[in-house]
Amino acid sequence: MAPYRNSVKILGDVLQITEEHGIGGVNLTSLLRKANLSYGRLAAVAGRLIQAGMIQEQVLDGQRIYVITPQGKEYLHRYNQFAEMANSFGLNL
């Protein structure tokens, strides 16, 4: 059984996936699969990230594409630093 992911971890995972896809962005289907989220849960998370200015949603050829913003990259960088520090103390996020 996979470990429980809290909302902060899920936000980090979605940002990581969008960053890995670069300026071309990631389509909704790939993001759903790679983040291992239901459509409803991903829609809520994406909405929060869009509202916070961390990702942008674009529509290309009728497909929704998500692209990380500079603000999202900064958040992800700091999140990864914090996760590293927590892991060094034996705490897993």
Q: Does residue 26 sit in helix, strand or coil? A: strand
Q: Does residue 5 sit in helix, strand or coil? A: coil
Q: Is the pLDDT of residue 1 over 80?
A: no
CATH class label, 12-86: mainly alpha
Q: Is the pLDDT of residue 22 over 80?
A: yes
31-79 tens-digit pLDDT: 999 999 999 999 999 999 999 999 999 998 999 999 999 999 999 999 9
Of the pLDDT bands very low, low, confident and very high (cuts 50, 70, 90), residue 3 is low
Of the candidates 35, 59, 58, which has an alpha carbon nearest to the alpha carbon of residue 45? 35
